[in-house]
Amino acid sequence: NSTVYVKGLYKEYPGKKGAVTAMKDVEINVLENDFVCIVGPSGCGKSTLLRMVAGLEEASGGRIVIEDNDIIGPGEDRGMVFQSYTLFPWMTVEENIKFGLKLKKMPEGEQEKIADKYLKTIKLEKFRNRYPGELSGGMKQRVAIARALANSPRVLLMDEPFSALDPQTKADMQLLMRQIWQEEKPTVLFVTHDIEEAVFLSNKIYVLTSRPGRVKREVPVLLPYHRE
């Protein structure tokens, strides 16, 4: 059963000499509990693809289906974590994590339980009353991940979430992300230009090429030796 199914996806942008094709005939299939990475060189359309799946940008053609429903704009069935921190600076860590739950008018006790659970997952229990401005980059991304997971989205969409971090923090975040996936099996669609990162994290990789036609390729993930 597909969680995200993309078929015949086409995107063009207006250019000086007519429309420019950003991608054509892209097909991806994300099954429930998959951790799928999209890799490819800079400019091949990875971000555009993810923004379209997020409903933040309109496709020029093709279909994007989330659990049998064609998407029409953004929705809370998709959690998002982007490269730049999108936390609300005037809310504490805990308030940020509870934000979506509050919107849904979830009873305060249940919000508390979910916040506790994800604060523990991201190992920031001691920082629950701090503000984003007081946190390091890695910590802010951990809060962004917790906030997205707290809403129990059908799929977590991540666009180069660790690219802006220093190498040590990045490695820590990759380890944490893999731990989260092994323990909770969220369905993840993750965009990165870092092939090592993709191999480390995912069970399925799609390569988006920048050649004319932008044809996708699905490639098997070769397990690194240190994988269990």
Sheet containing 61-66: which strands, arranged edge to edge? 18-31, 2-15, 61-66, 69-70
CB of 13 to ligand ADP, least distance (A): 3
Sheet containing 204-208: which strands, arranged edge to edge? 78-81, 155-159, 188-191, 35-39, 204-208, 216-219
Window 7-36: residues binding ligand ADP (CB under 6 A): 13, 22
CB of 88 to ligand ADP, least distance (A): 17
Instruction: Give, as one character, the DSSP assignment of residue 8.
Output: E
Window 167-186: residues binding ligand ADP (CB under 6 A): 169, 172
Interface segment toward ligand ADP; rule CB under 6 A; list 44-52, 62-70, 98-106, 145-153:
44-52
The residue among 138 and 186 lying less far from ligand ADP, judged by its C-beta, is 138
Window 87-146: residues binding ligand ADP (CB under 6 A): 134-136, 138-139
| 99 phi, psi to nearest 5 deg | -50, -50
The residue among 22 and 59 lying less far from ligand ADP, judged by its C-beta, is 22
Instruction: Give, as one character, the DSSP assignment of residue 154.
Output: S
Contacts of residue 199, defined as CB under 8 A and 6 or more positions apart, other chains included, come to 205, 221, 222, 224
- Chain residues in the site for ligand ADP (CB under 6 A): 13, 22, 40, 42-48, 134-136, 138-139, 169, 172
